[in-house]
Structure 1
Amino acid sequence: MILDALFFLVMAGLNLFFWAIIIAAVLSLLTGFGILDTRNRVVWTIGDFFYRVTEPALRPVRDRLPNLGGIDLSPLVVLLLIQAAMLLVAAIQGYLIRGGVYF
């Protein structure tokens, strides 16, 4: 019972962070191409929120990737890492179920 809740919370948190990175990347593209105007207070607030949520994970990856000009691949790398973490959590849950520790 408790392990179910723990695995659910971990998977839900990873899933929410996955979507936050996608939304932050799309907002960055839309503001970069001038489709969204950051002088609008609502747009700025939403963009700032997603920047603050995702930047702690994106910055270390961005620092380690080579400079590709105007192309930022750090969201892609972080999304792949999140997917790997989700697979790892699911595998751990499966091993616990098969081992009889988890019922």
Structure 2
Amino acid sequence: MLLAIIQTLLMVLGLVRWVVIIMIIMSWLFSFNIINGTNQFVAMIWRLVDGLTAPLLKPIRRFVPNIGGLDISPIVLFVIIFFLESLLRSWANGIYF
């Protein structure tokens, strides 16, 4: 039972990581005018991705300042996700043995 919970949490963390990667790539594409934010499909995807990542990044942005206009909060979130995944995997290894 506990192993199933840990595996589910690991899957959710993996999905969060991919959503953050999509958010980063889309923000770059917006910045370089490669994609148009007025396109309804693009705007819909951006609202979805931003709505999923904003609650995770907002608390980090309060403590981590922009460095030369560069937002490093996604990097901090990746470190937190990596830590949580490592912690969950070590717990899962403890369950097996």
Alignment root-mean-square deviation, CA:
1.1
Percentage of identical aligned residues: 30
> C-alpha separation between the residues in 2 aligned to 1:79 and 1:31?
22
> C-alpha separation between the residues in 1 aligned to 2:66 and 2:38?
29
1:19 partner letter: W
Q: Following superposition of structure 1 onto structure 2, how do residues 1-103 of structure 1 map, counting pairs within 5 Å?
A: 2-98=1-97
Aligned length in residues: 97
Give the alignment's TM-score, normalised by structure 1: 0.88
Give the alignment's TM-score, normalised by structure 2: 0.93
> C-alpha separation between the residues in 1 aligned to 2:26 and 2:5?
31
* 1:11-53 deviation line (CA, Å, top 9, x unaligned): 1000000110111111111112111101000000001100000
Q: Max radius of gyration: which structure? A: 1
Greater alpha carbon shift after TM alignment, 59-68 vs 82-91: 59-68
The list of structure 1 runs, each at least 4 consecutive aligned residues, that deviate by more than 3 angstroms after superposition, is none
Gaps in structure 2 of 5+ consecutive residues: none
